[in-house]
A and B are shown apart, each in its own frame.
Chain A
Amino acid sequence: MLTVDAIDTFYGEFQALEGISLKVEKGQTVIVVGPNGAGKSTLLKTILGLQKPRKGSIRFQGEEITGAPAHKVVERGISMVPEGGRVFPDLSVQDNLRVGSYNPVARPKAQTQMEQIFDLFPILSDRKKQAAGSLSGGERQMLAIARSLMSCPKLIMLDEPSLGLAPLVVNMVFDFIQKMKAEGYAILLVEQNANKALKVADYAYLVESGKLIYEGDRDSFDQNPYIKTAYLGL
């Protein structure tokens, strides 16, 4: 479904990604694990078209999207949950969701989508008129996830969804990722919390300082001695 092939991304002269390749198949949940500053966010931004890769190619559903602007990529069916539950703080909860359905494919379905989302997240329905900035950290993360569903995506990318949340809320977030997986969404999840992420993963990649270090399915990841000590704390 998504094929990333040997991409290099730079910020000015600083190289953030070096020859990264990965694949997400239909309905699969793929995780990218790695320390802070390894380039995981940059990877997602490059796929979405917020950053342009200098080299390499990105294909989605058989079509080339390398270097396409983000609004085209979103229209094709990729959405992103940005890091730290980044929502528009001065917009109401409802408006945050509506922004999610801005692209022309999603717009006609916005109303029904929103009703479904309010069923899934009753808390958001209760606060729909409230400014998103007034929500708690966990609620903001929920809103960010809900908003990513509004664009009628086929692939959802999540950037560190557990960052800075209380353990109980982290569990809720991962429960929800399970639910999305069950509904058939393809998921690309970037996480530092490798323990949690591996439980939902079909396939995993390890990235360190912009380079791909290791890849494998859940079991081989679990058993890799380096990953065990460095990331799983075993």
Chain B
Amino acid sequence: MLEQLLMAFINGILLGGVLALLAFGLNLIFGVVKIIHMAYGQFVMLGFYFIYYFYTAWHLPLLVAMAGGIIVMGLLGMLVQLLIINPLLDAPRLNQLLALASLIIVLENLAQVVWGADYRGIPISMPIIQFGDIFIRSSYLLAFLGAIATLGILYLFLHKTYFGLAIRSVAQDVEMARGMGINPKVIYYITLAAGGALTGVVAAFFIPIYTVHPHFGASFTLMAFVIVVFGGMGNLLGGFISAFIIGVVTSITAVLASTEVADILALVMFILMMMVRPQGILGAKA
């Protein structure tokens, strides 16, 4: 039992890395465009399908298929900005939420129409690493390392480039950013493209771990939400830390009870956090 818990802990940390990446995208979009991307998990599902499709139907090498998936998801992110978010920028927050919620209906059923309801996946066998009594799947480890590396690249992008600087300033104060000569629309497109591409990256890391089906994304939307709220909406560092907390808690609960109980626990943590500390674990009191 103890080994099982320890393994759940390690898996929680490793998956927490990927969740951190996912939550980062959701958080970035919220921070910059001030929009809650309700269909973000569904984007991961779509990214998975695209990689699968490029690999099986076009017979592209796996890495090329993954790159293709990432690019397509980036473009789709911009399309969402163009068709849905732009027209609703000044609309009530509720309409924005519901528009993106109806996008969930569209994307899940579109996937079902195109790829069917079956589970799809690319069979990749990756070795299992053993430390004494502990077994670690190298696919999890790879995903973790990749996610951390991607986060590092994103950090550099945000802090070392003009676009990154513009993104950070739009997130803080749009009007003043406009006064500095920044066109926020352009920044929104870049943000949504980056957010979309990130779902492609997450999907690529998930390829050796999961199989995909049309409703694959829902639980990831949920997880990303819980993490983002836990860390404080728009707070990137808070999101990073809370990804590991949530990853470990759900992973251990799933072993002790069931995945439903783990999800319920995550949601209850989300609800309590919203009530007691809406600014998140790191945020200063507003």
Contacts and interface: CB of A to CB of B under 8 A. Distances in A.
A74 B180 CA distance: 7
Interface in B166-194: 166, 168-169, 172-173, 175-183
Contacts of A207: none
Given A90-B168, A91-B168, A98-B162, A103 B181 contact: yes
Contact of B183 (A71, A86, A89, A147): A71
Contacts of A80: 179
A102 B166 contact: yes
A99 B183 contact: no
A151 B176 contact: no
Interface in A112-135: none
B175 A99 contact: no
A48 interface: yes
A121 B168 CA distance: 25
Interface string A35-49: 000000000000011
Interface in A87-105: 88-91, 95, 98-100, 102-103
Contacts of B169: 88, 91, 99
Interface string A64-100: 0000011100110000101000101111000100111
A49 B175 CA distance: 11
A71 B182 contact: yes
A50 interface: yes
A55 interface: no
Contacts, number: 58
A218 interface: no
B82 interface: no
A151 B180 contact: yes
A107 interface: yes
B181 A74 contact: yes
B57 to A, nearest CB: 42
A49 B182 CA distance: 12
B172 A91 contact: yes
B168 A102 contact: no
B69 to A, nearest CB: 32
B165 interface: yes
Interface string A18-30: 0000000000000
B181 A70 contact: yes
Contacts of B175: 50
A102 B178 contact: no
Q: Could you say which of A50, A70, A99 has the most chain B C-beta atoms within 10 Å of its C-beta? A: A99
A71 to B, nearest CB: 4
B165 A102 contact: yes
Nearest to B181: A74
29 contacts: A48-B179, A50-B178, A69-B183, A70-B178, A70-B179, A71-B183, A74-B179, A74-B180, A74-B181, A80-B179, A88-B168, A88-B169, A88-B172, A88-B173, A89-B172, A90-B168, A91-B168, A91-B169, A95-B165, A99-B165, A99-B177, A99-B180, A99-B182, A100-B180, A102-B162, A102-B165, A102-B181, A103-B181, A107-B162
Given A71-B181, A88-B173, 12 more contacts: A70-B181, A82-B176, A86-B176, A88-B169, A90-B172, A91-B168, A91-B172, A95-B165, A98-B162, A99-B177, A100-B180, A102-B181
Interface of A: 48-50, 69-71, 74-75, 80, 82, 86, 88-91, 95, 98-100, 102-103, 107, 147, 151
